[in-house]
Chains A and B, each alone.
Chain A
Amino acid sequence: MIRRTFLKLATATAMSALAAPYVHAQDKKFAGVTLRVGGWGGLYDETIKKYVAAPLEERTGLKVEMTAGTQSADLVKMVANRENPPYDIYQADSAYMVEALKADFIREIKESDVPNIKRILPGFREYDEYGVPYSVFTYIPVFNSEQLEKPITTYTDLARPDLEGKITLPAATFDTNCLYLLGMAEENGGSISNMEPAFKLLEKAKDNIVALGQSTVAMIQMFENGEVAAGVMSDARGYEMRAKGLPIVSVMPPQGIYGATSYMNIPKNAKNPEAALAFLEQMLSDEGMLGLPRSMRLGVTTDVKLPEDIAKDMTFNSLERLALKKNVDWEKWMADRSSRIERINKILRG
């Protein structure tokens, strides 16, 4: 309770410091308005600034301010400041959408508000009128082709005895990254409500695991340092390592690929809802949509036409591939997170 008050106070102070003076006498629609977007840092934010924020500012005079944070910390900030949210746009992946809906601080966004919503591919908008999906990650096995004699082809392969002391998996607290477990379950007759096969396999894979990655950066470093030869990573990071010259192969498990979608949301009490809607419209435009594929080869959510040279490096570059994308019952996945984290911790404990 104290914390909440403190956060409110801190945010209010920051707000008043940040509030830009109103600049009038400009024709542009959002001149003098500053849109605050919660970002995820690094190249990801740079890309959104370049392909979404910059063209928008050019056209409308809207200033965009992206603040790098983590989903979990941002969620706490949003919950603690319902009346006065720190961001006009709050980003969440499929998993955190469940949390954001549970916390009930985001508003519905209709096609009438953001016309480009009609271009979103079927099945990509998982939460009815909430959240605008704009990018797709997958979490797939990857391996270093120079260090493994026998390639990995499935999630189950990660438990192969010949991989002893050679793999890294994402830490249990990364909900979307941990979809590899769902892959292991479904490849072995389990399901989201019967994860036992996955946990049995994890038990088997225990000695294979050198470490759990606390961040994607840490995991990339493990590959770079030869600490591990295989693991589970997002397709974007696989591409990143290949681009750096590492012989990393991204595996497309034939029984299905698990991924998550990134969403942009507008908080109920957002200061600049109009500008936020304009931002989303730009995000879903061809120009905005192609940014992340260009820079990180991340998947798209609309019917935008992908240039060939980019498409070849992307996971979802064909209908066959798209058919591999499995739907996830996110609500169930998130309801089980505490017990899942504890179970993984217990299994991996010596």
Chain B
Amino acid sequence: MNPPLERNRKFTAALLLAPMVLLLLGFLVVPVAGVLRSSFLDGDYLLEGTGFTVGHYLRFFSDSYYSSILWETFVDGVIVSLICLVVGFPTGYSLARLPPLARRWRTIIVILPLTLSLVVIVFGWLIILGRNGLLNSVLFNLGIISSPKTLLFTRPAVILVLVQQFLPFMILSVLSVVTQIDPVLEQAASNLRANRLVTFRRVIIPLATPGILVGCNLVFVLSISAFITPRLIGGNRVPMLGSLIYERIMSEFNWPSGAAMAFILFVAGLGFTAAFNALAASRLVMGGRLHAR
């Protein structure tokens, strides 16, 4: 080997990574550390407290109100992820199996909603789900309901809107992994007497698992941290931790408490996804090695 060249390469690598590392350090690590620190401040107004206390954390865990909201937030996150998976997988899969050109503009259509402001999306849903809205009038005209129903401000409405918002992430994740699966494997399965369902279950799903995991993680994390949708679509009737944190910080100015809640959500979310991934990964390995020992 050539040592100077080797050193040079390392230097180049460091140089290439530097902007990213600095950016993350400056705008992610340092602020998160700041949030962590402020969550231990003994005070309840902006950052005017001093000292060190675990009181904000204690208050969260000693009140079943908060822990039950944390739980419900996670349940909502899981439900949204599952619906996105069920709806997004076929879409992502069929996109992946299209010729590249046809796939390109359809993918743009999938991404398009992400370019819309969330506020626009939410107001759009208010119009669709409203008492005089599109859905009510369709159901009414079809004779399915006899009087307009309140569809907004309910948990299903919040979940529906979250699904609509985050579906593209699932579709794109599935799309990217399915394009890596050689279609000839499906033909091989078919030749080996596997009907479409068996092929799907035993070949496509296991091979698409990395994409499914990424998609589920993205949607889950985005869902549990959502706060605009539960506030506007849920009308405060569907509490999620994100909107509670928003209130605590932006309305009550209780930054330490808000920081503590944010950190709890952060750690719990991280722990949940890590556990989920470890479980899914071990299942995958087990599945692959069923006859191994």
Please give the residue numbers on chain A whose beta carbons come within 8 Å of chain B beta carbons, in ascending order: 1-4, 72-73, 75-76, 79, 99, 102, 165, 168, 171-173, 209-214, 218, 221, 225-227, 337-338, 341-342, 345-346, 348-350
For residue B24, give the distance in angstroms from its CB to the closest CB of chain A. Answer: 15
CB pairs A–B below 8 angstroms (9 shown): A1-B38, A76-B253, A210-B150, A214-B236, A225-B132, A225-B133, A226-B148, A338-B252, A338-B254
Contact of A171 among B130, B131, B236, B254 (CB under 8 A): B236
Asked if residues A165 and B150 are in contact (CB atoms below 8 Å), the reply is: yes
What separation, in Å, do the CA atoms of A213 and B131 have in the docked complex?
Answer: 16
Chain A residue numbers with a CB within 8 Å of B31 are 2
Q: Which residues 106-157 of B sit at the A interface, judged by CB distance below 8 A?
A: 126, 130-133, 148, 150, 152-153
Contact A212/B131 with A76-B253, A349-B65 known, Cβ cut-off 8 Å: no
Q: How far is the CB of B255 from chain A (nearest CB, A)?
A: 9
A276 CA to B16 CA in the complex, in Å?
Answer: 52
In the bound complex, residues from chain A placing their C-beta under 8 Å from that of B47 are: 1, 3-4
Instruction: Indicate whether B46 reaches chain A with its CB closer than 8 angstroms.
Output: yes
- The closest CB in chain B to the CB of A206 belongs to B237
Alpha-carbon distance between A214 and B22 when the two chains are bound, in angstroms: 38
State whether A173 and B237 are in contact (beta carbons under 8 Å apart), knowing that A338-B44, A349-B65 are contacts in the complex.
no
Of the residues A214, A226, A342, contact of B132 by C-beta under 8 Å: A226
* CB nearest to A218 among chain B residues: B232
Residue numbers in B under 8 Å from A346 (CB-CB): 65
A173 adjacent to B30 (CB under 8 Å): no
Closest partner residue, chain A, to B68 (CB atom): A349
Query: Please, which residues of chain B bring their CB within 8 A of the CB of A75?
Result: 253
Taking CB as reference atom, which chain B residue is nearest A344?
B236
The reply to whether B130 and A227 form a contact with Cβ atoms under 8 Å apart is yes
Known: A72-B253, A338-B254, A341-B247. A349 touches B131 (CB 8 A): no
Q: Which of B173-232 contact A (CB under 8 A)?
A: 231-232
Contact status of A341 and B252, CB under 8 A, knowing A165-B150, A227-B131? yes
Q: Are A211 and B253 in contact (CB under 8 A)?
A: no
- A217: shortest Cβ distance to chain B, in Å? 10
Q: In the complex, A143 Cα to B234 Cα: how many Å?
A: 22
Q: Which residues of A contact B231 (CB under 8 A)?
A: 214
A225 x B131 contact (CB < 8 A): yes
* Cβ–Cβ < 8 Å partners of A227 in chain B: 130-131, 150, 152
Partner of A210, one of B65, B235, B252: B235
Using A4-B47, A214-B235 as known contacts, list a sample of 11 further A-B pairs with CB atoms less than 8 Å apart, ordered by residue number in A. Answer: A3-B47, A79-B46, A210-B150, A210-B153, A211-B234, A225-B126, A225-B130, A225-B132, A225-B133, A227-B131, A341-B252
Contact A173 B131 (CB under 8 A): no
A262 vs B9: C-alpha distance when bound (angstroms): 65
- List chain B residues, Cβ under 8 A from A2: 30-31, 34
Instruction: Determine the distance from Cα of A121 to Cα of B231 in the docked complex, in whole angstroms.
Output: 39
B252 x A73 contact (CB < 8 A): no
Docked CA distance A36–B45 (Å): 27
Q: Provided the pairs A79-B46, A173-B252, A225-B133 are in contact, do residues A212 and B247 lie with their beta carbons within 8 angstroms?
A: no
Question: In chain B between 23 and 42, which residues have their CB closer than 8 angstroms to a CB of chain A?
Answer: 30-31, 34, 38
A-B contact count (CB 8 A): 82
| 6 residue pairs, one from A and one from B, having the closest CB atoms | A211-B235, A173-B251, A212-B236, A211-B153, A225-B130, A2-B34
A227–B236 alpha-carbon span in the complex (Å)? 15
**CA distance in complex: A226, B130 (Å):** 8
In the complex the two chains form, is B130's CB within 8 Å of A211's CB?
no
CB-CB under 8 A from B69, the residues of chain A are: 349
- Judging by beta carbons under 8 Å apart, are B46 and A337 in contact? no
B239 close to A (CB within 8 Å) = yes
Of B232, B234, B252, which is in contact with the most chain A CB atoms at under 10 Å from its CB?
B252
Q: Which residues of A contact B38 (CB under 8 A)?
A: 1
A104 to B150, CA, bound (A): 46
CB proximity of B82 to chain A, nearest CB, Å: 22
Q: In whole angstroms, how far apart are the Cα atoms of A210 and B235 in the complex?
A: 8
How many angstroms from the CA of A3 to the CA of B244 in the assembled complex? Answer: 21
Tell whether, in the assembled complex, residue B250 and residue A73 are in contact, meaning their CB atoms are under 8 Å apart. yes
CA distance A110 to B152 in the complex (A): 50
Taking CB atoms, residues of chain B closer than 8 Å to A337 are 252
Closest to B246 in A: A173
Determine the distance from Cα of A210 to Cα of B84 in the docked complex, in whole angstroms.
Answer: 27
Query: Which B residues are in CB contact (< 8 Å) with A79?
Result: 46
Contact A221 B126 (CB under 8 A): yes
The CA-CA distance from A210 to B153 in the complex, in Å, is: 7
Chain A residues with Cβ under 8 A from B235's Cβ? 168, 210-214
CB distance from A97 to the nearest CB of B (A): 15
In Å, the complex CA distance between A212 and B254 comes to 21
* C-alpha gap A79/B44 in the complex (Å): 15
Chain A residues near B148: list those with CB within 8 A.
226
A18 CB to closest chain B CB (Å) equals 25
| Minimum Cβ distance to chain A for residue B161 (Å) | 14
Q: Residue A341 contacts which of B131, B152, B234, B251 (CB distance < 8 angstroms)?
A: B251
Known: A2-B34, A79-B46. A72 touches B153 (CB 8 A): no
Minimum CB–CB distance from B137 to chain A (whole Å) comes to 12
Beta-carbon contact of B237 and A348 below 8 Å: yes
Cα distance A218–B133 when bound, in Å?
15
Q: Taking CB as reference atom, which chain A residue is nearest B41?
A: A1
Closest residue of chain A to B155 (Cβ to Cβ) is A350
Q: Give the complex CA separation of A172 and B231 in angstroms.
A: 12
